[in-house]
Structures are given as structure tokens and as C-alpha cells.
């Protein structure tokens, strides 16, 4: 953990180093992934069989090795402890309600020269959702990815997920049942992303691929962007807690560790104007780590990437926060609105002492798939718009074309595009 | 030009080949671009100097070699022929009006459990616009890219454009004046895109890069997606004209050639239920080509990629159109709405006989930067949203956290994330 003070002379240089540190994958991952994508594109299912045996120890032999039937999802759902089932249903209904409010409106109007103009939104035909296996198999991720696609109106919703040594996660299957997934393929890694993008004999291709994954999965999505749509380029996640001195250090420590326990490359940052709180939080982190089952990961993250920045005044916080453009920003003060108003770049903001980031991970309603690694400067969290696209349209009456056609002809001629000009002038004769 | 009939036995196979033909850049471009990006990232301005000398024959020595001053843009604007100036101003005002209607609304509401939820849109801080030099230097492109960024509220709007042998295009400068561009750098190619993404000593980095370019520029944007936001992965453009027999073949021929004259890799497709019209259009294309100054390019495109599909009924057209997911689709019939309603995938649709695609290129108002190469399946035309991003927010009262916190704890525990659970449970004590 690094401790910086904005009043120190070398603060700008040190903070700059934090901002530039990408914590991301290397060129070797890029080359490996390019090879895997090519193999799947060229050899289809047989490449999937080989990679799945090699990386997951799962043999894709019979049909039942390839797909998890939807009735298994229903069975997993029905076998759930009722508290857990209720929690998943509550999460799903709140996520659904929030995302329904994102559905865009079409435009269709006629302007002052009598030209009809507009734009029409439609869902993509098919979406693929990557669901990690093993430690990072989260039912909450499935809900957060699948529900926006369903709300968008996507007809075919395909999940791919690795099942190491054949193992499946019943919670994920139950979530798939709740979200109404159409197909679940037991394939993971970059090879699954390639199969979704290009299609194989067994797995029909999709138009958009969303969902979290390790560095290989993220790199495969990045390389295939353009062949398909993708949700975003994802990297290790981060939390920034902005807190005044009037906080319970245990609460803040838990919030910082809730990010750190995800992955050793996660980053947790505290900005505070209270040296006292800063020291108390440091201690609370150490104490909490002693009893935390995920302490190994959380400690690795906190030790390597953890940061406390002591500011003279919280007025300095929004500018620092904008430079970090963090995935999650907590404003742990009594009146968070003014800090929020002063901020420009963040994935999601958690206002006030009773809004820990984890409430947003599961159940508040907004999406927990958010831009990481400073990408909140230009990117947004996952939404129904990621599963839709817009078609603009123009309908010119004869009179409207006569009104503005001559100007278009002038411009086409100036650009040296005579057929463009002709396509208008021939109609104005 | 290829002539297909849907009634022929081998139509599915042949049409499938058309759909799969990507007309796009090869792996060598990818490797060259990766090298150039690395050079600019490592060596900054000195790499720009070398590449600009090599590719553009322009020497970046003095400050004035690097930037075009804004006063030159004003001078170019003032020197314009008044008809052309009026045409550019009309285009700019119509583009501005259409894009102002795209500005998204923020959300801020309190739900039934007293939890405040919402989302807030903000512009990115800085946008870079690539403007091609030479033949493809189009003032209309500058307007179409810059105006949405300005409408979005972007503070810093940077243009990079190659100036081969020092040559600048006064029309582009005039358009930059109208759009209110802040900086114009005389750098082009993949090296310019890399400079915008990473920044150099001279050129400050941006958050989003938009604008058309050759295969190297498009590939650089694709490779840098994630480091910055980009408008889209662009490829050669295409037009699909769906026409009944009751059309003037000269009009249809001009429309097909207006796409073909852009580039030899452009594609023009006619779907019609009238063999008579099809033959007349073929002839009209040949006759028009004889008098067209851009005939060499247009003929190369039409000969290689041109396609006429004869259908038994225009009812077949929407499904074929959806497979092509074309950038531009013209519906040259009396009542285009029913065909439009049946279509799902297209960049922009031009309804009725008096709406040639070229009117949308210049002056109708909707953006002419549209998804190509079948990407309308998942992508949309350029809009103000490409220059903005959304921050979601959550504000839980103590009561709201008490209401749904226990369900979140349940889920966090089930996912094996105890610090997540703790960050909520410690607040519920």
C-alpha cells in the first residue's frame, strides 16, 4: 500500500505513475489469443475440442458434453435454498426495472422543409454472454449481462462457460433460468469468444459478445471487435473511496477490501482529508484481513496496488478522481451531491455512507459491468443500448429535395463526386 | 457485375459468398500498423516527423509545419464562393439540428424502497477527428464528425490530417471554421491515430477518435480501441437499392454509381423484381460511366463488386437486405414504409424515389458516418452518444440498505466474496 499526500512536492509525479499504471495483459497474451482465434475460425469445433481438453480437462465428445440442457437450469433453480432464490429473484427484478428505463425512444418527425427524418432502434438478433468458470463464476454477472439483452429484445441469448473437469456451478445455472438464457455451451476462454464471433458447426454465431473473463477472454473480445460488437474492453477493476474524517474505519476498510478480494490486480484507493481516518483505515484493513477467507487475494491487491491519498481538503478530490476515472467511486460524506456534481469521469458513483459499492454489485439495479482502467473517460457501463443498434432514415418529398438538393449538388461537385451530384440533379430535372 | 436470381438453385450459395466477402485489409496491414503505433508510443514526435516525411513528403520542422492556424480556417471560409459557403452553412445547421435531438436525458429517481437511482451523461474531455488528405478530403466528413462532438459538449476538438507535399484543402479548412475545431495537426495515417491515442510532446491525447481513413487508419483505430474510444471499425462502404419496375433507370444507375465512385472496394447492389428495370439499369450504368469523371474508380467497383439480384417479389427483399445489413439502403418504391417496417439491419434507410442516398451524405441532417461491412447488425451511425459517456449512481438511505442489504449479503456469501458481504453487514449492525 502506498501513502501519498497532495501537499508533498513529489505528489504529482507519484500520482501520475498510479494513473498510468495499467495493470494489464502483455503482448504474449495478444499473440496467443490471435493464434487461438485463427484456429477456431479455420477448424471450428475440432479446435474447440482440443482447447477444452487442454485448458479445462473437459472432453467434448457426446452432445451432452457440449451443452447444458435448459432443464438442468430449471432443476438448479428449484433446488436452491429459498432465501437464495428470493435474493436472486429480487436482484433480477430490480435489475430488470432499472434497465427497462434505458430503452431508447425512436425519432420520427417532419422538419420545416417537409423532410421526414428519424431514427429507429432495434435489438441485435443474437447475443453471446461469456460466463467465467471456477472461482469467478458469479450468478450476479449472469443476471447483469443477460437481463439487459432480454430487455433490449434480443431473440437468441447464448451463454458460453468453461466447466473445468466437467464441473458446473448450480447458482449460475439457476441465474440462467431466471434470466431466460436460450443455450449454454460448455466452452470457455478465448476459444469460446472466437466461436461466438465466427460461429462453428455446433455454435451459431452472435452479433454482440458481453461478459467478464480473464485476460485471454478480454483480449479475444478486443481482437474480435468489429467482427462482432462487444460490451467493452475490460481490465482489472478498481474502487475509489472518498471519505471525510467522520467515517467508521471498519466500513471503509470493508469497502476497500471488497474490491481487493476480487483479484490481485484489483485496485483500492482511499482519498481522505483526515490523517486520523487514514491511519484507522490502515489498521482496520489489517485487522479485517486476519479474519477474511479471501485474505490472500485481498492482501496481494492491497499491498501491491492499494493507495491512500491524504488531501488538505476534499475539494481536491473530484479532480484527482477524474484523473483516475475509476470504475467505482464511493462518496462517504454527509452531503455527497456537491462532490458528485464536481466529478466528470466515473463508471458508477455510490452516494453517502449507507451506499457500499457491494449493494451495486448485486441488487440496487444499475449494471455492475462498468468501464475499468480509466476507460470511464470515454466508456459507459453495460446497458440495453449495447444490445441494440440505431438505423437513421430520411424520406424526402419532391419539394424537400428541390429545396435542399441544389446545395447538396454544390457540395458534391466541390468534393469531386459527380455521381453524387448526378443522383440529385437527375431527379430535379 | 454479378447478376443473380433468387429462383436459381445455386442462389443461396452465391448470395452467401457475397455476404461473406469482407473486401477488407489483410494481416500485413495489421502488422505494419502495430509497428507504427509502437514507434509513436515510444518515440513520440520524432516518429511523427519520420513517417510524415516518408508518407506525405511533408517536413515537420518549424512550428508552422506542424499546425494549421485557426486564422487560416477563417480565411479559407471567407474566401469561399458564396454559393458554396451557403451550402456548407446549410449542411452544418441541418446536421446540428438533427444531432441536437440525440442529446440523452439524465435519469434521477427514487424507487419504492426509497433508493435513489439514476444515470448522468457527460461529454468526453477531448475528441480527435481524423480527416483524410488528398482525394478523400471531404468537408462534409469534417462537419459530420465535428458537429456531433460539439453538440455533445466536448471541450477540445482536435483534427489531424495529412497534407501531402504540404498541400491543404481550403474546403476542409472552411468546414473546420464552421464546426469550430480547436487544433489542426498536419499529420496523417496510423501515426496520427497513435499520436491522438497516446499523446506526444506536441499533440495532447484525446479520449475518443472518430473519422474516416484508409485501411491503415481504420486498423490503427481498431488496434487502439480500449486505449481510447473510437467511433467504429470502418470498412469499404456499400449501397443497396431496392427498386420496383416503376423507376427511372437513370436515377437508379446514378445512385449505384454514387457509391461506386468512392473507392474500387465500394459495393453497389440492386434488388428488383423487374428484369426489365435490371437490364435498363445495367445499360444506364454503362452509359453514365462514359461521361463520368470518376468512371475509372466507379467502373472498377461496379465490375468487381456490383450485384443485381432479381427477385420474384419485393417481399423477398427485407430478408436479403438484413443479411447484407448494408450501410445505405434505398427503397425506391411508392410506398416504402412497409418494406422499411420489415427490415431490421441497415445503417441508414432512404425512403421513396425522391430520396437519393447522396442527400444524406451532405445535407439531410442524419450522420453519414455509418456502419459498413455488415456491421449494421450490431453497430449504429455516429451520434452525439459516441462523444459522451454515462455514469450510473446509487444513493441508499439507511432504510433502503436495510430493506435489500440482506439479499445482497446472501448473494455475496454464495459467490464466496466475504468482504462484499461484510461491507453491507457492518452497516446493518
In contact, B306 and B260? CB cutoff 8 Å: yes
Q: Is B361 on the interface with A (CB under 8 A)?
A: yes
Q: Which uninterrupted H or E stretch holds B266?
A: none
- Dihedral over Cα of A25, A19, A251, B425: its sign: negative
Three cell numbers written together for B25: 485489409
Q: Which uninterrupted H or E stretch holds B329?
A: strand B328-332
Edge-to-edge strand order for the sheet containing A388-396? A107-110, A115-123, A388-396, B348-351, B328-332, B238-243, B267-272, B307-310, B2-5
Domains of chain A, by residue range, sit at 2-24+235-365, 27-106+121-230, 397-428
* Candidate from B347, B360, B396 with C-beta closest to A355: B396
List helix spans (H) across A292-417: 295-305, 317-324, 337-342, 357-362, 398-414
Nearest CA in chain B to A223: B223
Give pLDDT, residue A137: 76
Fold of B2-24+235-365: Rossmann fold (3.40.50)
Three cell numbers written together for A376: 470511464
In whole angstroms, give the CA distance from residue B413 to residue A169: 14
Q: What are the beta bridge partners of residue B183?
A: B158
Establish whether domains A2-24+235-365 and A27-106+121-230 are of one fold.
yes
**In angstroms, how far is CA B60 from the centroid of its own chain?**
29
In contact, B306 and B268? CB cutoff 8 Å: yes
Q: Is A428 on the interface with B (CB under 8 A)?
A: no
Give pLDDT, residue A236: 80
Q: A317-328: string of b/e by CB count within 10 Å (b at 16+)?
A: bbebbbebbbbb
In contact, B60 and B191? CB cutoff 8 Å: no
In contact, A237 and A218? CB cutoff 8 Å: no
- Among candidate residues A145, A143, A146, A209, the one with its CA nearest the CA of residue A171: A143
Give pLDDT, residue A177: 98
Please answer yes or no on whether A391 and B111 come within 8 Å at the CB atom: no
Q: Is B125 on the interface with A (CB under 8 A)?
A: yes
Q: Is A197 on the interface with B (CB under 8 A)?
A: no
In whole angstroms, give the CA distance from residue A39 to residue A152: 32
Q: Is A283 on the interface with B (CB under 8 A)?
A: no
User: The cell 445489413 sits on which residue?
Assistant: B325
DSSP letter, residue B90: H
Please answer yes or no on whether A340 and B116 come within 8 Å at the CB atom: no
Residue of A393, A403, A416 best to disrupt the B interface, most CBs of B under 10 A: A393
Give pLDDT, residue A25: 60
Give pLDDT, residue A185: 97
Active site residue B327: yes
Give pLDDT, residue A214: 86
**Beta carbons within 8 Å of A369's beta carbon, 6+ residues apart:** A141, A144, A145, A210, A211, A212, A231, A232, A234, A381, A382
**Is the ipTM reported for this complex over the cut 0.90?**
yes
Q: Is A98 on the interface with B (CB under 8 A)?
A: yes
Instruction: Output the 3-class SS for A24-35.
Output: CCCHHHHHHHHH
Neighbours of B231 (CB within 10 A): 25
- Among candidate residues B330, B175, B211, B178, the one with its CA nearest the CA of residue B268: B330
Neighbours of A166 (CB within 10 A): 11
The B residues from 290 to 309 touching A (CB cutoff 8 Å) are 292-294, 298
Task: Quickly list DSSP for B3-54.
Answer: EEETTSTTHHHHHHHHHH------HHHHHHHHHHHHHHHHHTHHHHHHHHHH
Give pLDDT, residue B25: 60
Please answer yes or no on whether A371 and B389 come within 8 Å at the CB atom: yes
User: The cell 462487444 sits on which residue?
Assistant: A230
Residues of A within 8 A of B371 (CB-CB) are: 389
Q: Is B86 on the interface with A (CB under 8 A)?
A: yes
Residues of A within 8 A of B364 (CB-CB) are: 115, 117, 394, 396, 404
Residues of B within 8 A of A293 (CB-CB) are: 416, 418
User: The cell 461478459 sits on which residue?
Assistant: A211
Given the residues B58, B99, B177, B328, the one annotated as active site: B328
User: The cell 515510444 sits on which residue?
Assistant: B42
Superfamily per CATH, domain B27-230: Nitrogenase molybdenum iron protein domain (3.40.50.1980)
Span A261-274, average pLDDT: 95
Query: Could you read off the pLDDT of A69-111 as tens digits, one per residue?
Result: 999 999 999 999 999 999 999 999 999 999 999 999 999 999 9
DSSP letter, residue B61: -
- Among candidate residues B319, B377, B141, the one with its CA nearest the CA of residue A420: B141
Give pLDDT, residue A21: 80
In whole angstroms, give the CA distance from residue B340 to residue B246: 18
Calculate helix-pair angle for A189-198, A45-56, nearest 10 degrees.
160
Q: Residue ranges of A for the binding site for NAD(+)?
A: 130, 191, 214
Q: Which uninterrupted H or E stretch holds B218?
A: helix B215-224
Q: Is B263 on the interface with A (CB under 8 A)?
A: no
Q: Is B412 on the interface with A (CB under 8 A)?
A: yes
DSSP letter, residue A310: E
Which pLDDT band, with edges at 50, 70 and 90, does A255 fall under? very high
Residues of A within 8 A of B365 (CB-CB) are: 111, 115, 117, 394
In whole angstroms, give the CA distance from residue B161 to residue B177: 15
Please answer yes or no on whether A381 and B390 come within 8 Å at the CB atom: yes
Residue of B301, B423, B427, B428 best to disrupt the A interface, most CBs of A under 10 A: B423
Edge-to-edge strand order for the sheet containing B115-123? A2-5, A307-310, A267-272, A238-243, A328-332, A348-351, B388-396, B115-123, B107-110
Given the residues A327, A345, A357, A368, the one annotated as active site: A327
A–B interface: beta-carbon pairs under 8 A: 367
Calculate helix-pair angle for B418-428, A249-260, nearest 10 degrees.
160
Span A22-26, average pLDDT: 65
Residue of B419, B426, B429 best to disrupt the A interface, most CBs of A under 10 A: B419
Please answer yes or no on whether A354 and B404 come within 8 Å at the CB atom: no
Task: Quickly list DSSP for B295-320.
Answer: HHHHHHHHHHH-EEEE-S-GGGHHHH
Which pLDDT band, with edges at 50, 70 and 90, does A42 fall under? very high
- The length of chain B is 429
Architecture, CATH, for domain A27-106+121-230: 3-Layer(aba) Sandwich (3.40)
Residues of B within 8 A of A355 (CB-CB) are: 394-396, 401
Three cell numbers written together for B59: 517536413
User: The cell 431508447 sits on which residue?
Assistant: A104
Q: Is B258 on the interface with A (CB under 8 A)?
A: yes
In contact, A237 and A348? CB cutoff 8 Å: no
Residues lower than pLDDT 70 in chain B? 22-26, 134-136
Question: Strand, helix or coil at A20?
Answer: helix
CA angle in degrees (0–180, nearest 5) for B381-B382-B386: 130
User: What does each C-alpha distance from A252 to A129, A244, B368 come to in angstroms?
Assistant: 33, 11, 49
pLDDT > 80? residue A183: yes
Amino acid at each position: 500500500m502506498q501513502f501519498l499526500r497532495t501537499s508533498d512536492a513529489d505528489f504529482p509525479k507519484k500520482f501520475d505513475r498510479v494513473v498510468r499504471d495499467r495493470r494489464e495483459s502483455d503482448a504474449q497474451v495478444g499473440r496467443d489469443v490471435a493464434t487461438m482465434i485463427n484456429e477456431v475460425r479455420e477448424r471450428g469445433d475440432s479446435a474447440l475440442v482440443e482447447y477444452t481438453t487442454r485448458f479445462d480437462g473437459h472432453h467434448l465428445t457426446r452432445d451432452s458434453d457440449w451443452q447444458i440442457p435448459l432443464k438442468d437450469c430449471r432443476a438448479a433453480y428449484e433446488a436452491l435454498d429459498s432465501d437464495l432464490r428470493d435474493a436472486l429473484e429480487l436482484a433480477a427484478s430490480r435489475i430488470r426495472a432499472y434497465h427497462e428505463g434505458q430503452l431508447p425512444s425512436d425519432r420520427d418527425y417532419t422538419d420545416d422543409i417537409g423532410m421526414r427524418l428519424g431514427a429507429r432502434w432495434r435489438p441485435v438478433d443474437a447475443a453471446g454472454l461469456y460466463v467465467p468458470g471456477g472461482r469467478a463464476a458469479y450468478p450476479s454477472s449472469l443476471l447483469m449481462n443477460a437481463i439487459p439483452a432480454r430487455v433490449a429484445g434480443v431473440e437468441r441469448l447464448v451463454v458460453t462457460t468453461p466447466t473445468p473437469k466437467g464441473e458446473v456451478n448450480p447458482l449460475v445455472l439457476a441465474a440462467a433460468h431466471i434470466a431466460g438464457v436460450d443455450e449454454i455451451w460448455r466452452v470457455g476462454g478465448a476459444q469460446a469468444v472466437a466461436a461466438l464471433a465466427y460461429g462453428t458447426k455446433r455454435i451459431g454465431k452472435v452479433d454482440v459478445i458481453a461478459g467478464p473473463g480473464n485476460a485471454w477472454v478480454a483480449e479475444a473480445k478486443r481482437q474480435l471487435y468489429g467482427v462482432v460488437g462487444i460490451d467493452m474492453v475490460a481490465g482489472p477493476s478498481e474502487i475509489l473511496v472518498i471519505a471525510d474524517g467522520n467515517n467508521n474505519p471498519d466500513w471503509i476498510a470493508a469497502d476497500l477490501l471488497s474490491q481487493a478480494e476480487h483479484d490481485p490486480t484489483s485496485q483500492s484507493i482511499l482519498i481522505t482529508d483526515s490523517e486520523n481516518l487514514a491511519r484507522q483505515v490502515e489498521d482496520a484493513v489489517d485487522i479485517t484481513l486476519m479474519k477474511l477467507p479471501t485474505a490472500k487475494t485481498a492482501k496481494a491487491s492491497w499491498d501491491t496496488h492499494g493507495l491512500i491519498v491524504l488531501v488538505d481538503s476534499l475539494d481536491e478530490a473530484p479532480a484527482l478522481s477524474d484523473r483516475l476515472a475509476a470504475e467505482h467511486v464511493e462518496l462517504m460524506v454527509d452531503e455527497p451531491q456537491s462532490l458528485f456534481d464536481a466529478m466528470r469521469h466515473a463508471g458508477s458513483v455510490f452516494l453517502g455512507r449507507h451506499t457500499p459499492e457491494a449493494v451495486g454489485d448485486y441488487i440496487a439495479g444499475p449494471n455492475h459491468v462498468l468501464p475499468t482502467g480509466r476507460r470511464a473517460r470515454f466508456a459507459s457501463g453495460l446497458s440495453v443500448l449495447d444490445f441494440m443498434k440505431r438505423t437513421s432514415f430520411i424520406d424526402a418529398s419532391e419539394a424537400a429535395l428541390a429545396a435542399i438538393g441544389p446545395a447538396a449538388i454544390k457540395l458534391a461537385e466541390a468534393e469531386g463526386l459527380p455521381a453524387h451530384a448526378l443522383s440529385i440533379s437527375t431527379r430535379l430535372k
